[in-house]
Amino acid sequence: MALTFSYPDLSAHPAYDNHEKILMAEDADIGFKAYIALHNTKRGPARGGCRYWPHYNNDNDAINDVLRLSKGMTYKNALANLKYGGGKTVIVGKVGTTNPDPSFMMALGHALNELQGIYETGEDVGTRLEDFKIAGSITDFVRVRSLEKAGVIDLPGGPPLYTAIGVYHGIKAAVKHKMGKDVLRDIRFAVKGLGSVATPLCALLHADGAKLTVADIDPAKVARAAKEWGAKIGHPDDIMFEDVDVYVPCALGGDISADTVDAIQAKVIAGAANNQLATPEMAEALKARGILYAPDYAINAGGVINVVEIGASHEELIAKLRHIGVTLDEIFKRADAEDKTTAEIADIIALERIASH
Ligand code: NAD
């Protein structure tokens, strides 16, 4: 096998941000190339998923992605008070495929061994539990809840359920802060995307008596929401402009942009989607409009908490998820006190937690 490892010097790259280590693993015989970026391990070994993505136009796209994502994991893990640093893997996928070959996962296993445990990884876009079973035959450094051995509580539901529970607590904190309400009864929500996170989230909101308007590109999911939760049906293109109290983005990110921000009527934006703001300036635009934004990586940390805290009891996990609401409350209050955006304060708190460790 011609698997090689190298550590390219990317210090001149615009997204470098003082990464501690970047490993390039390559096996030209099988067409395998992966980058593993370790951003910061001050709080502990790096953790962050492994993405398989066949749509990179060139190497720089893949490098840009891995650097940006691994930095994001440092902030997310620190803000969630996890004793881990941030890292990420991207495997450059073969055009026309959606998941990695077994040979790729074996190569990844060797690459993880090369890093000797300073980084562990698991599923992300394009990689599945079954892929990690293959990598797990080569290395101990995969972190997938259902692969864990005896003695570990294997809760049903997996990361999306825990992400949903965390988002729910974040929503409660945001509603309390912005609207002064302790309960969600009759609060109006617009939920975009009815996937694996939004489905349990809507069930929780509905159980609290919230009023839901929903949209998804899949009509069957929308029909189910109408039937199960009495949800009003919105349209994917304008659900974010509904006259509601809370907009809950749970589809893809990036829909809060210069083109859309002025038409948002909600008082609060709090949802699971990653990278909700199309550009960082949108945080300022929302603040200027008096819309309370729950920073995405703060509110959607439940999935990573679930994966990383293997061995924690159900009660411990729930306590950590509830703490997402406490962290958001701290962010909201500090943003008010310091006249900064909630996104800025989330970054500041994450950096403080890294520095003080
Ligand atoms: P999912 O793929 O299960 O669900 C996404 C849903 O959005 C699907 O039902 C899809 O049909 C719908 N959708 C796609 N485009 C749409 C559009 N334009 N308008 C309306 N609906 C649209 O994904 P998920 O796991 O539920 O994750 C949702 C979001 O939360 C993603 O942005 C994801 O990155 C983020 N997130 C997920 C987790 C997790 O644990 N799964 C953790 C953190 C963040």
Note the pLDDT of residue 151.
31
Same CATH topology for 4-73+84-150 and 158-355? Answer: yes
From the CA of 192, give the closest atom in ligand 1.
Answer: 20
Q: How many CB atoms lie under 10 A from the CB of residue 81? A: 15
Which amino acid would we find at residue 123?
A: E
When pLDDT is cut at 50, 70 and 90, the band that residue 148 belongs to is very low
Stronger pLDDT, 143 or 41, i.e. the higher one: 41
From the CA of 221, give the closest atom in ligand 1.
Answer: 9
Note the pLDDT of residue 146.
56
Around ligand 1, the residues with Cβ closer than 6 Å are 159-160, 163, 192-198, 215-218, 221, 236, 250-253, 272-274, 300, 303
Digit-coded pLDDT (tens) for 174-210: 999 999 999 999 999 999 999 989 999 999 999 999 9
Digit-coded pLDDT (tens) for 277-332: 999 999 999 999 999 999 999 999 998 888 777 777 778 888 999 999 999 999 99
Which amino acid would we find at residue 131?
A: D
- Give the E-state strand segments of 76-187 in sequence order: 85-92, 119-120
85 by DSSP, 3-state: which?
A: strand
As a whole number, the mean pLDDT across the chain is 93
Active-site residue, from 33, 88, 192, 211: 88
Atom 9 of ligand 1: nearest residue by CA position: 195
If you average pLDDT over residues 122-129, what whole number do you get?
86
Note the pLDDT of residue 328.
98
Instruction: Work out the percent of the chain whose per-residue pLDDT is above 70.
Output: 96
Separation of CA 324 and ligand 1 centre (Å): 20
Is residue 71 pLDDT above 50, yes or no?
yes
Q: Would residue 178 show up in a list of annotated catalytic residues for this protein?
A: no
Chain centre distance of CA 57: 24
Atom 27 of ligand 1: nearest residue by CA position: 197
**Terminal Cα-to-Cα distance of the chain (whole angstroms):** 41
* Residue 44 zone, left/alpha/beta (φ > 0; ψ -120 to 50; rest): left
- CB-CB contact of 15 with 61 (8 Å): no
* Dihedral sign from CA coordinates of 146, 149, 150, 152: negative
Nearest to 207 by CA among 172, 244, 248: 172
Note the pLDDT of residue 275.
87
Q: Which fold has domain 158-355?
A: Rossmann fold (3.40.50)
Q: How far is CA 93 from CA 51, 62, 90, 100, in A?
A: 9, 10, 9, 7
Q: Strands 32-40, 85-92: parallel, antiparallel or unpaired by DSSP?
A: antiparallel
Write the DSSP symbol of residue 79.
H
Note the pLDDT of residue 303.
86
Note the pLDDT of residue 149.
37
Is residue 131 pLDDT above 80, yes or no?
yes
- Give the E-state strand segments of 186-260 in sequence order: 188-192, 211-215, 232-233, 246-249
From the CA of 300, give the closest atom in ligand 1.
Answer: 43
Architecture category of domain 4-73+84-150 in CATH: 3-Layer(aba) Sandwich (3.40)
Both tokens of 283, joined, read 């945080």
When pLDDT is cut at 50, 70 and 90, the band that residue 129 belongs to is confident
For the chain, the structural domain boundaries read 4-73+84-150, 158-355
Digit-coded pLDDT (tens) for 158-173: 778 889 999 999 999 9
Q: 260 pairs with which residues across the strands?
A: none
Q: How far apart are CA 133 and CA 67, in angstroms?
A: 26
Note the pLDDT of residue 208.
96
- Give the E-state strand segments of 8-161 in sequence order: 21-27, 32-40, 46-47, 50-53, 85-92, 119-120
